[in-house]
Amino acid sequence: MTGRYHETDPMSDVISDDYRMLQMISRFGITLGFGDQTVAETCKKANVDTQTFLTVVNFLTDTNHAHITEMVERIDLPTMLRYLRNSHNYFIDYRLPQIRRKLLQAIDMHSQIAMLILKFYDEYMAEVTRHMEYENTHVHPYVEELLQGRRGQQRLSDITSQHEGSHSSIDRSLTELKGIIIKYYPSDQNAALLSDVLMDIYMVEEDFLNHCHMEDTLFCQAVQQLEKSPLLSSPKEEESTLIPSPVGGDGEGMLSDREREVIRLVAMGLSNKEIAEKMFIAVNTVMTHRRNISRKLDIHATAGLTIYAIVNGIINVEDVKL
């Protein structure tokens, strides 16, 4: 086995070397209290495929990933599917609602900006939930069918091309949220609580990025190997990618008067069509303005643009549509 950890290493080493592995272990359904048992002994006891476990640990603890092809070959897909499904449950049912509760405690709900930050977070949570539920209901069942030796007309690339929200767009929303809290939220009263929730957001971001990276590489390539299996009917040779490529921003720049007006109307809750009518321009022009604004400010969500508009005096708080 290539990588930092091997079958004969004590399981406790995995955690004492990197506390983040605690989450990974629980997602495999392995509970603590393994004493001096080795990785192989603990996995056997918990009915977890040892090679898949080691591959995931080595993937997460060594970011070099020089031996990705070898790693992919060691993956047992049913074990991987269980792991990913448990990770989804962790994010949707536990981690994201927990951060929301903390956020509610940390921000002053009488403040308009606090309400918008919460709205922003809710939009982010909804995006992650839709994304992961799509994987649960479309991607995973497809792989389960392949494992049963059955293949329909679609391939992984077809299914993932209809995927709700890409990994990069979800991560971008979280980066924006952090930026907005750091730049614009005055934390006079609950400074400790707010830094605490920010730390949580940083940690969940790292966790989410690792999850996505594993899906894009290990999982995706293991499924593609299976798709090429001669045991399946009508195999096709075709490359597929789980997630579309990220969109980069050019950084901040000065906003034109027209762009400031578009932001003001967005913050008032107007649709692109309504903005076009009000400004006597085409809907396409509004969309171009919005793209340029998002690129300049690196803010894409409506709630984020609204916060920007309030903080920069483009709109009065009373005129904002919540």
Q: Judging by beta carbons within 10 Å of its beta carbon (0-12, 13-18, 19+), is residue 189 exposed, middle or buried?
A: exposed
Segment near Fe ion (CB under 5 A), from 93-101, 102-110, 130-138, 200-208? 130-138
Tell me how far, at minimum, the Cβ of 214 lies from Fe ion, in Å: 8
Segment near Fe ion (CB under 5 A), from 3-11, 21-29, 127-135, 152-160? 127-135
Tell me how far, at minimum, the Cβ of 212 lies from Fe ion, in Å: 5
Segment near Fe ion (CB under 5 A), from 34-42, 48-56, 93-101, 133-141? 133-141
Instruction: Write out the binding residues for Fe ion, residues 197-226 only, by CB under 5 A.
Output: 215
Number of shown-chain residues binding Fe ion (CB under 5 A) = 2
Tell me how far, at minimum, the Cβ of 215 lies from Fe ion, in Å: 5
Give all strands (DSSP E) within 163-241, no chain letters.
none
Q: Is 259 in the site for Fe ion (CB under 5 A)?
A: no
Tell me how far, at minimum, the Cβ of 216 lies from Fe ion, in Å: 8
| Nearest residue (CB) to Fe ion, 27 versus 289 | 27
Q: Is 176 in the site for Fe ion (CB under 5 A)?
A: no
Q: Is 135 in the site for Fe ion (CB under 5 A)?
A: yes
Segment near Fe ion (CB under 5 A), from 132-140, 154-162, 220-228, 232-240? 132-140
What does the binding site for Fe ion look like in residue numbers (CB under 5 A)?
A: 135, 215
